Amino acid sequence: MQAETKKIIQESLDALLENDLFLPDLTNRKQAFASLSAILSTPDKIHKSFLRVPLDDGSVVQIPSYRAQHNDAMGPYKGGIRFHESVNEEEVIKLAFLMTLKNALHKVPFGGGKGGIVINPREYSEKELNLISRKYVSYFVDVIGPDKDIPAPDMGSGEREMDWMMAEYKLVHPGTSYLGSFTGKSVVNGGSLGRREATGKGVYFTFRYLLHDYVKANKQLLTKSDNLFAKTTLELYNRPLKMAVQGFGNVGSVAALEAYHCHLINHKIIAVSDRNVTLYNENGLDIPALIEFTKTNRGDLPSTEEQLQSATIKAEIKERDCLVTLPVDVLLLAALENQIQKDNMKDVQARIIIEGANAPTAPEADQYLSEQGVVIIPDILANAGGVIVSYFEWLQGRETQFYDEAEVYRLLIDKMKETMDMILPQYYGDPFALRQNCFIHAVTRLSTVLYRQGKLY
Ligand code: NAD
């Protein structure tokens, strides 16, 4: 497993080892911690195969594909299937580990898993993608299922693929309960209302709660704290803020729309970017108009003057990668990994970074920016809305009783608020960055469960 993952585990275990309140009845702590470290740093299982798929032109491709199952102490493995040309074994293992921690942090009764299919989905026809999705299920059908491992969409896949995959699962397992085999399905096919928007809404909520609700209720406490992050939070509280959003897909566009409609914080989105372009407007961008445009342009933002004019959107076209270093107060990253790294970390001007994507801040940049007092709301905290509503979808599928949209959002926000209320008091009082705080909480919960299950000796 990658060095950075080992480091996360070691730091969390070191913090726990020093804490006498953690499992006081645990004898031989050193040995127990060694077994914990071994369990967390190794996935339970890795399944891999080549999907042999006939293409429209009659040729046959062999597509590498993976399913990593990291740990199921808290419940069935759970995690998306990424359709991307650069996905690989190491990446799915790391992402499966993060899913274990994310579920433990938010008390979602699932373990961690992740899948990958090494393709660029834009290069395949709908018929070919259908075959690829169904082949994936038929190859891995013995190791997935509603009580074993429940996949969901990830980068490059969506509800269409989940609908196809569930149909294949149903075909292979006739007569068994199948609605819980995949989440992120279309609503008509047993999906949950609100699932599509869940991650983006949750991402924005973590920011709003940290910078508005929590500060409002705890201003005195933060003022007394000499913690660097408390100072940054207070500096930005109740001030007009500029925000930039990287990535305008499922997560980025929904989070941007939430920000656009939220009047509790005085902010405007002055830049958004996607795989082609950055759009900039000092006075604030018209987010609803941009979303409308993407619906008719294969998900892409306008990238020419003609397109901007036809959609009556006022914006300056800039080079894609400039967004990260623009003069803004808040940066919401919702595209890819490693967008802030050694080369550009010193040029980042934002004082709050929200990680909608998984791992958009490389470890070195994370450390550097945290030392400068930048508040980084980490992926494991911010982007859990998807898996939380996936859990509600799984529950609804089991009960064949479906909630209305307002109920889904109420349950989602309750769950994220519960996690924030557990994390924030410690964050503003101790020397750890928010990411480390989240890891320590997640590892504590997971370790306690493993201990109670008799797996530490
Ligand atoms: P998506 O495919 O819907 O959107 C991705 C967006 O990023 C697109 O607008 C694309 O044009 C843009 N993009 C691609 N390369 C870029 C680049 N170099 N610079 C700027 N923009 C670029 O994906 P999504 O579902 O919105 O997921 C985004 C991220 O969030 C991924 O890292 C994903 O793993 C993570 N995530 C998603 C969910 C979810 O429920 N969708 C849940 C948790 C985490």
pLDDT in tens, 223-266: 998 899 999 999 999 999 999 999 999 999 999 999 999 999 99
Q: Which residues are annotated as a binding site for NAD(+)?
A: 199, 250
User: What residues are designated binding site?
Assistant: 78, 102, 199, 250, 390
Task: Calculate the dihedral angle through the C-alpha atoms of 108, 113, 118, 124, rounding to the nearest 10 degrees.
Answer: -40
The CB of 357 under 6 Å from ligand 1? The reply is yes
* Interatomic CA distance for residues 333 and 273, integer angstroms: 10
Ligand 1 center from residue 255 Cα (angstroms)? 12
Supply the residue whose CA is at minimum distance from atom 25 of ligand 1. Answer: 250
Cβ–ligand 1 distance for 383 under 6 Å, the answer yes
Residues above pLDDT 90, as percent of the chain: 85
Ligand 1 centroid to Cα of residue 357, in Å, is: 6
User: Which amino acids are annotated catalytic?
Assistant: 114
Burial class (CB in 10 A: 0-12, 13-18, 19+), 89: middle
Q: What pLDDT, on a 0 to 100 scale, did the predictor assign at position 114?
A: 98
Mean pLDDT of 372-381: 97
HSE of 58, CA atoms in CB hemisphere, 13 A? 0
- Separation of CA 276 and ligand 1 centre (Å): 13
- Give me the residue label for tokens 């001007």: 349
Q: Which secondary structure element, helix H or strand E, spans residue 45, and what is its range?
A: strand 45-54
Question: What is the sign, positive or negative, of the torsion defined by CA atoms of 243, 248, 253, 255?
Answer: negative
The verdict on the CB of residue 254 being under 6 Å from ligand 1 is no
| pLDDT of the residue at 132 | 98
Query: Does residue 170 have a pLDDT over 90?
Result: yes
Which residue has a Cα nearest atom 3 of ligand 1? Answer: 249
CA 304/CA 326 separation, integer angstroms: 21
Mean of pLDDT values over 27-33: 78
Residue that the structure tokens 């059908």 belong to: 141
DSSP 3-state of 353: strand
Q: Is the pLDDT of residue 24 over 80?
A: no
- Region 66-84: what's the mean pLDDT? 97
The answer, yes or no, to whether any atom of ligand 1 lies below 6 A from the CB of 157, is no
Nearest CA to ligand 1 atom 29: 357
pLDDT band at 1 (very low <50, low <70, confident <90, very high): low
The residue whose CB lies within 8 Å of the most ligand 1 atoms, and thus the one to mutate among 103, 155, 160, 377, is 155
CA of 451 to the centre of ligand 1 (A): 37
Query: Is the separation of the CB atoms in 361 and 369 below 8 Å?
Result: yes
Going by CA atoms, what residue is nearest to atom 35 of ligand 1?
Answer: 357
Measured distance CA(183)–CA(179) in Å, rounded: 8
- pLDDT at 268 > cutoff 80: yes
| Closest ligand 1 atom to Cα of 252 | 26
Nearest to 254 by CA among 366, 360, 115, 409: 409
The CA distance from 165 to 180, in Å, is: 12
Matching residue, tokens 């992740």: 114
From 291, 336, 408, mutation site for ligand 1 pocket: most ligand atoms within 8 A of C-beta: 336
Residue 211, both tokens? 């910078």
Beta strands in 72-190 (DSSP E): 77-83, 112-117, 149-153
Q: Is 320 in the pocket of ligand 1 (CB under 6 A)?
A: yes
pTM of the model: 0.94
Structure tokens given for 391: 């859990």
Q: Which atom of ligand 1 lies closest to the CA of 379?
A: 44
154 touches ligand 1 (CB under 6 Å): yes
Q: Where are the beta strands (DSSP E) in 263-314?
A: 267-273, 278-280
Report pLDDT digits (tens) over 348-359: 999 999 999 999
Give the range among 4-18, 281-295, 427-441 with minimum mean pLDDT: 4-18
Confidence of residue 2 (pLDDT cuts 50, 70, 90): low
pLDDT averaged over the chain?
94
pLDDT digit string, tens, across residues 306-348: 999 999 999 999 999 999 999 999 999 999 999 999 999 999 9
Task: Give the alpha-carbon dihedral of 86, 89, 94, 99, to 10 degrees.
Answer: 90
Strands annotated E in 289-443: 316-318, 330-333, 352-355, 375-377
Q: Tens digit of pLDDT for each residue in 104-122?
A: 999 999 999 999 999 999 9
Q: Is the CB of 386 under 6 A from ligand 1?
A: yes
Most informative mutation of 199, 201, 381, 416 for ligand 1 (most atoms within 8 A of CB): 199
Instruction: Please indicate whether residue 336, judged by its CB atom, sits closer than 6 Å to ligand 1.
Output: yes
